[in-house]
Structure 1
Amino acid sequence: MLGTSARLLELLSLLQLRRDWTSANLAERLGVSTRTVRTDIGKLRSLGYPVIARPGVTGGYRLSAGTAMPPLLLDDDEAIAVAVGLGAAAGGSLGIEETSLTALAKLEQVLPSRLRHRVDALRHAASVVPGAGPALDLTVVSGIAVAIRGHERLRFGYTKPGGPEEPRHVEPQRLVGWGSLWYLLAWDLDRDDWRVFRVDRMRLRAPTGRRFRPRVIPERDEVDFVVEQVLRAGWVHRARILVHAPADVVAAKLVVPVEIEPIDDTSCRVELGSDDPDRLALWVTQLGVDCEVIEGDGLIAALERLGARLQRAIGRTPDAG
């Protein structure tokens, strides 16, 4: 016979199957009396699980929706499906990336080793069509999320474009998803200042286990701080363009970090940047509307190269008009 705690978990698992159970059915499955079933149902209710009783011959017990979210029990396949689904949502552009990361970090922290191996195997076996940004390493992102939630210092290797990997030691503060990229806002212990790191350039090292007290950025919003740092210092090539389209239309078409300044109902100014000017040119062409380059010699040269390439693709030379 199962102990009380194990029996309650088994009872909860049965009720989560979304069907009605009679006392006799549950008693048979659990190997207890119907009186014990009624007692256990009362214990689940006291823990916040909304178990309702349906009278009649076809009635029974059923787990109903309540006013709060109680803990769920998942079997192995369900847990794997949820982890993979959260990972996909974290790497998408649905507006729930940060929430998905938080949920994923909580789930992976309690997954048994055998399930973590299956989740990792699925990640390595699956592929996605390349998009505008680099692939998201869920192991790195979830590790960062766990460290942020637990106020634990992080050590990692960080690679800047064209440079070697450098060791960094930080107090992680906030993950910010912007466009197709993720950034970590952290207090850099070696430089004694705030720094913003691109997550796809990070390679986590073994957890330090050392805790810290979260700091506060004086008179600043964390997300705004990250945006400013990325726009002002995070890119090698930056440009400003005048776009002849409403700001909300431009924001919906560009899936990269940009700063948009509305001018009127039909135009806006956009500041964007990248480590590659040719990528800037491609992003501008994705707008599908007329625009003018206000600042950005690198973007102008990249657009000229792209225009010449497109002319050759249709059998024309750039000087043919």
Structure 2
Amino acid sequence: MAYLVYMTEPVSRLLQLLSLLQVHRDWPGTELAARLEVSDRTVRRDVERLRSLGYRVSATPGSTGGYRLDAGSELPPLLFDDDQAVALAIALETSLLTGSGIDEAAVRALTTLRQVLPGRLRHRLDGMAVTAIPGRPGDGRRPVVSPDLLLELSAVVRDRRVLRADYGEAGSEIGRHRGEPHGLVAASGRWYLLAWDLDKADWRILRVDRLTPRPPHGAHFAPRPIPGGSVQAFVSARFKGAISEDRWPCEGSAILELPAREVRPFAGDGTVDQVGADRCRLHAGSWSWIGLAASLLRFDAEISEVEPPELVEALGVLAGRAARARGVAP
């Protein structure tokens, strides 16, 4: 049975020791003592405390020996500081919205975490509201966003207060933003804020990692109707290149000379219907007809029965470009 332990100051040194031991190497006791600024005797006592909590810390005697954290057969108590506890709560809340199949376990874990948090952290997390958008492919880069920033933005969304912030990337021109925040969004490892820009009189989707709030924030505002009916529908539509309806602006289909089982893993949010032993029809969408045509050509297979005519025309455009790239007149 595992326990969740929120770290208080008297035992915070255990967390530091555990963090060092989690680096898979042998730590001489004198080096641990120097890192923790304590005596060798204190290190030995703290190691025994970790062992009593269920952590398997092995010790090798001699001048070349030291302490090492071994893999255990049971989950020992988990120790968290403020930042780790907030980050874990945010991750659990986000997981509830992504259709990951762990909803029940995540709810129980989040309930357990809230029960042991001190009031100051529980109050900060109570107003945390996130919209998650599953299924959107990422580019592999995940900018770092601090839990404090997420909590501050979530608070202005909850309280319906005008956000004052600087906006822009480091090394580029930074502009001022003044807007009415309506939703905090998690999508493919990035965080976004949907806000009504008061200066441009239009909706904007802002990258949270490029936002620097400048409190105190402004007056309360009345929420505006969001195109598409919800934060998720509107942001999903914009990610697909649409104005407000959560669907691709260009949708079509084609027969691929491949079994459906070989196409489905690469179909994204498209659908695949088996139409023969070695044939299937792929229904897919994209932000442009050229983009959709290019996605069909990813498959190493013959293509036929393409619909609609706009998609057929886009394939012709790509065929011409490919011919010219080969030095052959189309």
Q: TM-score, normalised by structure 1?
A: 0.48
TM-score, normalised via structure 2 length: 0.47
* Structure ranking higher in helix proportion: 1
